[in-house]
Structure 1
Amino acid sequence: MTATLALPLQAGGSALDPVLAPIYWLLRYWSELLLWVAGATGIELLQYGFMHRAILVGLCIGVMAPLIGTFLVHRQLALIGDALAHTAFAGVAVGLFLNGVLDLGVSPYLSAVVVAMIAALLIEVISEVTDAYNDVSMAIVLSTGFALGTVLISLNAGGLAVGINQYLFGNLSTVSAENAAILLVLFAVIVATVGLTRNQLLYVTFDETAAAVSGISVTWYNRIMVMLTALVVVGAMQIMGVILVAAMLVVPVAGAAQVSRSFSESLVVSVVLAELAVLLGIGVAYYAEATAGGVIVLIAVGIYVVTVAAGKLKTATAEESAPEVGSIDAGEGASSD
């Protein structure tokens, strides 16, 4: 095998390189591991550095998205991912606009993080201040974000269109070392935050009133949840694209709900289903030369259909095996005078 890894300690002279240097070392070791696996197994896609980063990002998405999506689905906030994805699109457009017009050298990925988190807070603030339902505030933020993105693109006479396409539809080959490193930071923040606040988030998810009575700041934890969702959306945007990113927050969780008996079990199963969809999707997309985000979502939906069938079969089997309860005759066994 002649494939070698071209992953330098620095990712191209970015101002973030000194901060991300330790993570670049981790990326190098990860790539060396996959190169060894490629040599041992002969798997072609493992021979290339860009696929190493894409697989790592995919594995992180497979954990982050269901981890947050499980809370969102149980709170009936499945569409918030779509709203934040459209505002992340605006964030990317802001970064590309500043780079293309003002030559500021801003990372579109980081500008997407900032704009998406601001939008997440706006969704909560609009609901609190106006007493509007969450879906109303989500629709307002979604429309504003997408409008801002399209205006910035048009102001540059279409010059941003080429740069924006990879964020709209996702692209395996454009996952840079810098973006992969930022994703790992987001992954650590999300997992650590959920780990530290799991009980409070769970309480707020299933009974906000009781949580407020017990002294938990419902408003604060609601804001934590939407900000974590924004981070997941931006992290998954590299591979999934903003158009399809919301699917990974919902579809694996919906599939897990069909075969799980508890919240914790649903969380674990949804992660397994998401990882299966991501890995299969990346492999199929590479060999078929198709868009990775679309393939991953189609496989995730296929897995969902299988879990629905498995859940129905499980229920039918349980009903058939349950002992039949006979009717009781009121007159039977009664003593006669």
Structure 2
Amino acid sequence: MHVELFALLQAGPLDAVLAPFYWLLSLWSKAMFGLYDATGLEFLQYQFMHRAILVGLCIGVMAPLIGTFLVHRQLALIGDALAHTAFAGVAVGLFLNGVFSLGVSPYLTAVVVAVIAALLIELISEATDAYNDVSMAIVLSTGFALGTVLISLNAGGLAVGINQYLFGNLSTVSAENAAILLVLFGIIVATIALTRNQLLYVTFDETAAAVSGISVTWYNRVMVMLTALVVVGAMQIMGVILVAAMLVVPVAGAAQVSKSFTQSLLVSVVLAELAVLLGIGLSYYGGATAGGVIVLVAVAIYTVSVIAGKLQERASDDSVPELGSIDSSDA
């Protein structure tokens, strides 16, 4: 393990920056090997599964953390738009590596392109007075078009490895990508912790937030940039096509059984983590694509949540006395 860490440190400046996170990954692998010794679960003996599980757990926190704000803002589809632009960012990285041999991580270029796209969505909406769905559609089509053009220009070098970014792949979560995800995770959680009250105010009443002195434009941009980071992080195992589901489905399920924003936030994280862990396990033993299985599990959990919410609502209605049975003299 120490030899592997030393080799990573010698690889380049990015690896030197990510060294503390490589150390955390090595500790995580030790814990997973210990869990394998205790449980005998087959998939816990592989390091690539250790990284996939860690990435999945981080996604299970990040996605609903941001998705809860997006759903209440009726911006559920922004994740899909940014996923397609993140795909363009991956294509940019692969193109630069294939043509110029730069050795840059496609996930880093995806982060840069997705953040730029997130800001463009806000700027187009502000500059043209267009609805958010119009600016999202423009950015989505532009990003996907850019990605397809770059792939076609160097089809031999790009087409071979592009499927893992479209559909996700557990076995391709490298140590570098997992370390980058941990950095994104830290940025997202810290930002939400510091700006939660302002984001909540802007989410439910932009006019009142502006009157109270909160910069609505700034916090809207913070939210879309955080969404871009979540999309790129989740793309590793979810793929471009399915990544938006983790921003929406667990949140929608939590809304069926929650009575407050905070409760909805916590429940959505629990539901997302459950979907990720069950999905990764089922995909490994079933030999299926992890992203698809995770989404199917999340939708199944959503269905159960809807049923539970209806039963809870019915029980609540049954417990309320009929109007005719209330004696007005007691008022």
Relative to the length of structure 2, the TM-score reads 0.96
Partner of 1:129: 127
Partner of 1:145: 143
Q: Does 2:268 correspond to 1:270? A: yes
Partner of 1:333: none
CA contact (8 A) 1:10 1:21 kept: no
SS class of match (1:28): helix
In the TM superposition, residue 6 of structure 1 has moved relative to its aligned partner by 8.9
In the TM superposition, residue 158 of structure 1 has moved relative to its aligned partner by 4.3
| Equivalent position amino acid for 1:109 in 2 | Y
Q: 1:60 to 1:106 in 2, by over 3 A?
A: same
1:75-102: CA deviations, max 9, x gaps? 0000000000000000000000010111
Partner of 1:217: 215
In the TM superposition, residue 15 of structure 1 has moved relative to its aligned partner by 3.2
1:219-273: CA deviations, max 9, x gaps? 0000000000000000000000010000000000000000000000000000000
Q: 1:284 to 1:6 in 2, by over 3 A?
A: farther
Q: 1:46 to 1:61 in 2, by over 3 A?
A: same
1:154-188: CA deviations, max 9, x gaps? 01134311111111100000000000001000000
| Equivalent position amino acid for 1:162 in 2 | V
Partner of 2:117: 119
1:113-172: CA deviations, max 9, x gaps? 000000000000000000000000000000000000000000113431111111110000
Q: Does 2:43 correspond to 1:8? A: no
C-alpha distance in 1 between matches for 2:327 and 2:124? 61
C-alpha distance in 2 between matches for 1:18 and 1:10? 10
Q: 1:202 aligns with which of 184, 200, 203?
A: 200
| Equivalent position amino acid for 1:313 in 2 | L
How does 1:1-337 map onto structure 2 within 5 Å?
A: 8-11=5-8, 13-326=11-324
SS class of match (1:148): helix
Q: 1:191 to 1:254 in 2, by over 3 A?
A: same
In the TM superposition, residue 13 of structure 1 has moved relative to its aligned partner by 2.0
In the TM superposition, residue 197 of structure 1 has moved relative to its aligned partner by 0.2
SS class of match (2:13): coil
Number of equivalences: 328
| Equivalent position amino acid for 1:27 in 2 | L
C-alpha distance in 2 between matches for 1:14 and 1:248? 33
In the TM superposition, residue 7 of structure 1 has moved relative to its aligned partner by 5.0
C-alpha distance in 1 between matches for 2:3 and 2:287? 22
CA contact (8 A) 1:85 1:242 kept: yes
Runs of 4+, deviation exceeding 3 Å: 4-12, 327-330
**Structure 1 unaligned spans of 5+:** 331-337
CA contact (8 A) 1:9 1:24 kept: no
In the TM superposition, residue 323 of structure 1 has moved relative to its aligned partner by 1.2
| Equivalent position amino acid for 2:322 in 1 | E
In the TM superposition, residue 105 of structure 1 has moved relative to its aligned partner by 1.1
Question: % of aligned pairs identical?
Answer: 81
CA contact (8 A) 1:9 1:21 kept: no
CA contact (8 A) 1:252 1:300 kept: yes
Q: CA RMSD in A?
A: 1.8
C-alpha distance in 2 between matches for 1:37 and 1:205? 41
Relative to the length of structure 1, the TM-score reads 0.94
C-alpha distance in 2 between matches for 1:283 and 1:157? 34
Whichever structure has more helix as a proportion of its residues is 2
SS class of match (1:280): helix
C-alpha distance in 1 between matches for 2:159 and 2:11? 24
In the TM superposition, residue 14 of structure 1 has moved relative to its aligned partner by 4.0
In the TM superposition, residue 5 of structure 1 has moved relative to its aligned partner by 10
| Equivalent position amino acid for 1:168 in 2 | L
CA contact (8 A) 1:126 1:132 kept: yes
Q: 1:25 to 1:112 in 2, by over 3 A?
A: same
C-alpha distance in 2 between matches for 1:281 and 1:5? 32
**Structure 2 unaligned spans of 5+:** none
In the TM superposition, residue 23 of structure 1 has moved relative to its aligned partner by 1.0
| Equivalent position amino acid for 2:78 in 1 | I
C-alpha distance in 2 between matches for 1:286 and 1:135? 37
